[in-house]
A and B are shown apart, each in its own frame.
Chain A
Amino acid sequence: EVQLLESGGGLVQPGGSLRLSCAASGFTFSSYSMTWVRQAPGKGLEWVTSISAGGDSTYYTGSVKGRFTISRDNSQNTLYLQMNSLRAEDTAVYYCAKEDLPGGPFYYFDGWGQGTLVTVSS
């Protein structure tokens, strides 16, 4: 059974930094591209960033490019999101998501974590 467990969320001041982690189990982590999707309170889903299976290719939505960095450690089956220069509009639940097919990214997701809340406020 696929399990994704996010951690690292919390309250941070504008301009601050936070690092999210996603521990994966139940599948061959190193074979799948991985993604972070966020959801602002009471709002819809927004794709944020993806990383290829080997970690050599990364992709970002425009509003986070240059501020967020996605990475992975395939030896530890863990996905990361380093978030710098945080803004109020980054406040959201952040989900890590697994691709349906190995390789990719193909950008649709058959496994999701429970999410971790990031609140950016003074």
Chain B
Amino acid sequence: EIVMTQSPATLSVSPGERATLSCRASQSVSSDLAWYQQKPGQAPRLLIYGASTRASGIPARFSGSGSGTEFTLTISSLQSEDFAVYYCQQYDNWPPSFGPGTKVDIK
């Protein structure tokens, strides 16, 4: 079973600044990596799949990169609505597995 880790656990960022979130897999997942955003009391929302493809309706300030075991989600200029928890998830190997999340809060 593939274990996903994320860093940092919490990221404090000012509005308008860039945020860089990391995700690591315990073994290669190729590019089968998704990112989700979850706000308090809401369901997760798919942001990125295939490591770098934005899902429908996702703003261009969200970008994903990486392959193999190391992945990055970048939010180029944080907006107020972007403060949330972000999860990565691998779907290359069964069972699918999620990382523990990175909370992005206001600095």
Interface of A with B (CB < 8 Å)? Answer: 37, 44-47, 59, 61, 95, 100, 106-110, 112-115
The 9 closest A-B pairs by CB, nearest first: A112-B43, A107-B91, A107-B96, A108-B34, A45-B98, A110-B46, A47-B96, A108-B91, A44-B100
The CA of A116 and the CA of B42, in the complex, are separated in Å by 11
Contact residue among B45, B55, B98 (Cβ-Cβ distance under 8 Å from A46): B98
Indicate if the CB atoms of A44 and B101 lie closer than 8 Å.
yes
Question: With the chains together, A59 CA to B93 CA distance in Å?
Answer: 13
Min CB–CB distance A115 → chain B (angstroms) = 6
Secondary structure type dominating chain B contacts: loop
User: Which residue of chain B is the closest to A110 with respect to CB atoms?
Assistant: B46
For residue B38, which residues in chain A have a CB less than 8 angstroms away from its CB? Answer: 45
Chain B positions within 8 Å of A, measured between CB atoms, are 32, 34, 36, 38, 42-46, 49, 55-56, 87, 89, 91, 94-101
Q: Is A112's CB under 8 angstroms from B45's CB?
A: yes
Q: How far is the CA of A2 from the CA of B97 in the complex (A)?
A: 24
Known: A47-B95, A61-B95. A110 touches B101 (CB 8 A): no
Q: Determine if A95 and B95 form an interchain contact, defined as CB atoms under 8 angstroms apart.
A: no
8 contacts between A and B (CB under 8 A): A44-B100, A44-B101, A45-B87, A45-B89, A100-B46, A107-B91, A108-B32, A112-B45
